[in-house]
């Protein structure tokens, strides 16, 4: 528990240890104040009011010191909590930013969101709300044991033996609900994911589930969460009961010992002093039990926080894409795949298998192939969204694994099918490609991407908000903004995945002319469904089930029986289109 917590606040743990020492000191002081009751009662019994008053004053001073100490401890605890919150979120953010794109499944994304929001807030509250009473509650009884031993060694011995026993019991009770707790957190993440999915996919759900069945997935997730919550509550109640029984058993043992002691004294002839000692021992026994009961009560909070800490540890344990120790810089804008093999998971088949391909700087290559043949995966490997399983991907002669992520990102600009627009204006979204770009440049690239007219029609022009994910725009408009963003970046390599698929004829022409302008100036790798785009390519690579089936210029491939000829035939049949290659290699 403490280890993952400390892991989160490393490298500077001084503040935590200072806080822990203060909390232990507070527990010690509380114990001393409790023990101070003994001499007060003894002097009262002996009729020495002056000494009793002096001890009373000392006790009052101790109470004030306790109060001040508790305030300082709470303040330090809040400080540690805030440090954990800041440090952990920063570390999780830095770590997640280096994880392979494949990690970001809806399930992991929901878990990440649950941990960063709910989980980390609970963990941050641990020092002030849980650690302080638990730490001080563990120290105070030790001091009280000393007083008990001084009053009667038998009761002191019982209390002394009870301390490690209670600790073991608390730990065992803590383990009781651990699995149920993990299951509950997993179910809570799943419900969160289903709730977001339910909200985002309303149009699909309503179109396909008009019979009111649309909430089924969400309801099932909520049911599963409710069942796991029920199991967790049962386990929690059991562990709270076990802890309380343990503490009450210790108390009963102390009472029995006190009864025996009194009985012995009665047999030996009652001594008033002994009677007072018994009464004081009982008082100390009660005060010994109080902090233990507190500690027992915090077991549940500790276990819940442990669940969140484990979730954070699990995220931090995912291996990020390694950064090179001595990064190298590419010498040009060539792209090369050398005998590349890749699979998305160890238990899945290879989706890229033995692909070798060299694209010279300034060349335009079109990737063609059936759906699922591996075109998008090749693009992702070039961008190092994942590392290859075998072979290498080289940019400018350098293995992408030997380039820093900044250097690699600087080389590549990309337009994907699902380009995301951030909440902000059109200009903000285009400027992501070049944060320093002036308005004129933004307008210029918007024009090149075919959105000049659209912007001119809008009252706020480039400053028009796009809404989260670009919801206020049509699919084609979103795609064109993503194109402007990619073009303004001015990276030497441009990857385009079906960039023109969502565009109307007018904008297809605008994009085609942009590609014409960029030909020879940038290395272009294009997954093109539009024949007009393929027509511009210097070379065409036809993929089939993760392998290169055909490779060459249009002129070389067009009369060769095979997938490319089949592809052209299908496209012609669909569009009544005739291919006029501008370049024959």
Q: Kindly list the residues in this chain that would bind ligand ATP in the complex (CB under 6 A).
A: 102, 344, 351, 369, 371-377
CB of 358 to ligand ATP, least distance (A): 20
Residue closer to ligand ATP (CB basis): 225 or 377: 377
Separation CA 37–CA 585 (nearest Å): 99
Nearer to ligand ATP, 111 or 187 (CB): 111
Is the preceding omega at residue 11 within 30 degrees of 0, hence cis?
Answer: yes
Q: Which is nearer to ligand ATP, 371 or 584 (CB)?
A: 371
Can you tell me the distance from the alpha carbon of 35 to that of 144, in angstroms, rounded to the nearest whole number?
6
| Spatial separation of the C-alpha atoms in residues 92 and 106, rounded to whole Å | 17
Instruction: With beta carbons less than 8 A apart as the criterion, state whether 292 and 166 touch.
Output: yes
Shortest Å distance, C-beta 491 to ligand ATP: 21
DSSP state of 322: P
Calpha distance 525→513 (Å, rounded)? 16
The tokens describing 571, both together, are 């496209």
CA 210 to chain centre: 36
Nearest distance, CB of residue 426 and ligand ATP, angstroms = 27
Q: Which long-range contacts (CB under 8 A, 24 or more apart) does 441-448 make?
A: 441/488, 442/484, 442/488, 445/484, 445/487, 445/488, 446/481, 446/484, 448/484, 448/487, 448/510, 448/514, 448/517
- The Cα 229–Cα 234 span in angstroms is 9
Strand runs labelled E in 70-220: none
Residue 344 CB, nearest approach to ligand ATP (Å)? 3
Any idea what DSSP says for residue 361? T
Taking the complex as a whole, the smallest distance from the CB of residue 373 to ligand ATP amounts, in Å, to: 4
For the CB of residue 499, give the shortest distance to ligand ATP in the complex, in Å: 13
Task: Give residues with Cβ within 8 angstroms of 151, minimum separation 6.
Answer: 38, 277, 280, 281, 284
Least gap, CB of 351 to ligand ATP (angstroms) = 4
Residue 431 makes CB contacts below 8 A (sequence gap 6+) with 437, 442, 485, 488
Secondary structure (3-state) at 168: helix
CA atoms within 13 A on the CB side of 284: 33
Torsion angles phi and psi, residue 13, rounded to 5? -105, 5
Q: How far is the CB of 105 from ligand ATP (least distance, A)?
A: 8
Neighbours of 409 (CB within 10 A): 15
Residue 552 contacts by C-beta under 8 Å, 6 or more apart in sequence? 539, 540, 560, 585
Alpha carbon distance 573, 565 (integer Å) = 12
CB of 98 to ligand ATP, least distance (A): 18
- Complex with ligand ATP: residue 62 or 374, whichever CB lies closer: 374
Q: How far is the CB of 478 from ligand ATP (least distance, A)?
A: 18
Task: Provide the 10 A C-beta neighbour count for residue 496.
Answer: 24
Q: How many CB atoms lie within 10 A of CB 516?
A: 12
d(CA 244, CA 248): 6
> Minimal distance in Å, beta carbon 112 to ligand ATP?
17
Nearer to ligand ATP, 110 or 151 (CB): 110
Tell me the closest approach of the beta carbon of residue 525 to ligand ATP, in angstroms. 12
Q: CB 375 → ligand ATP: shortest distance, Å? A: 4
CA-nearest of 70, 73, 69 to 16 is 73
């Amino acid at each position: 528990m403490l280890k993952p917590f400390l892991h989160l606040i490393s490298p500077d743990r001084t503040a935590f240890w200072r806080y822990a020492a203060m909390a232990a000191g507070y527990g010690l002081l509380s114990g001393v104040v409790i023990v101070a009751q003994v001499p007060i009662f003894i002097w009262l019994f002996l009729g020495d009011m002056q000494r009793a008053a002096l001890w009373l004053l000392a006790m009052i001073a101790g109470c004030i010191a306790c109060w001040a100490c508790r305030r300082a401890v709470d303040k330090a605890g809040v400080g540690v909590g805030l440090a954990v919150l800041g440090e952990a979120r920063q570390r999780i953010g830095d770590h997640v930013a280096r994880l392979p794109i494949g990690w970001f499944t809806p399930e992991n994304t929901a878990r990440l969101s649950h941990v960063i929001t709910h989980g980390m807030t609970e963990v941050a509250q641990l020092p002030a709300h849980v650690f302080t009473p638990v730490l001080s509650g563990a120290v105070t009884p030790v001091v009280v044991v000393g007083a008990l031993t001084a009053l009667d060694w038998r009761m002191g011995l019982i209390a002394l033996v009870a301390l490690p026993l209670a600790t073991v019991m608390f730990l065992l009770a803590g383990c009781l609900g651990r699995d149920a707790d993990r299951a509950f957190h997993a179910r809570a993440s799943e419900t969160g994911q289903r709730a977001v999915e339910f909200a985002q996919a309303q149009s699909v759900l309503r179109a396909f589930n008009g019979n009111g069945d649309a909430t089924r997935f969400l309801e099932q997730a909520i049911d599963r969460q409710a069942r796991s919550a029920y199991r967790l509550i049962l386990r929690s109640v059991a562990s709270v009961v076990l802890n309380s029984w343990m503490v009450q058993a210790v108390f009963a043992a102390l009472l029995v010992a006190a009864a025996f002691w009194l009985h012995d004294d009665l047999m030996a002839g009652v001594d008033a002093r002994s009677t007072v000692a018994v009464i004081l021992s009982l008082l100390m026994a009660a005060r010994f039990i109080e902090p233990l009961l507190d500690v027992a009560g915090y077991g549940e909070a500790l276990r819940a926080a442990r669940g969140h800490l484990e979730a954070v540890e699990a995220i931090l344990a995912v291996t990020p894409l390694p950064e090179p120790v001595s990064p190298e810089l590419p010498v040009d804008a060539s792209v090369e795949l050398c005998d590349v093999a890749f699979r998305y998971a160890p238990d899945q088949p290879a989706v890229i298998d033995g692909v070798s391909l060299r694209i010279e700087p300034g060349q335009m290559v079109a990737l063609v192939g059936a759906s699922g043949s591996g075109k998008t995966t090749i693009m992702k490997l070039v961008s190092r969204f994942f590392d290859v399983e075998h072979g290498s991907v080289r940019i400018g002669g350098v293995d992408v694994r030997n380039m820093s992520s900044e250097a690699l990102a600087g080389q590549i600009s990309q337009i994907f099918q699902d380009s995301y627009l951030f909440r902000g204006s059109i200009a903000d979204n285009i400027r992501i490609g070049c944060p320093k770009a002036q308005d004129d440049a933004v307008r210029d690239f918007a024009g090149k991407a075919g959105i000049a007219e659209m912007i001119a029609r809008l009252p706020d022009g480039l400053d028009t908000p796009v809404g989260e994910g670009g919801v206020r725009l049509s699919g084609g408009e979103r795609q064109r903004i993503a194109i402007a963003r990619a073009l303004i970046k001015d990276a030497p390599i441009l990857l385009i995945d079906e960039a023109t698929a969502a565009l109307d004829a007018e904008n297809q022409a605008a994009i085609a002319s942009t590609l014409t302008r960029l030909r020879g100036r940038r290395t272009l790798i294009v997954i093109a469904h539009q024949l007009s785009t393929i027509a511009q390519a210097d070379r065409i690579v036809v993929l089939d089930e993760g392998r290169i089936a055909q490779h060459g210029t249009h002129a070389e491939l067009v009369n060769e029986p095979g997938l490319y000829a089949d592809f052209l035939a299908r496209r012609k049949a669909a569009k009544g289109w005739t291919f006029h290659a501008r370049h024959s290699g």
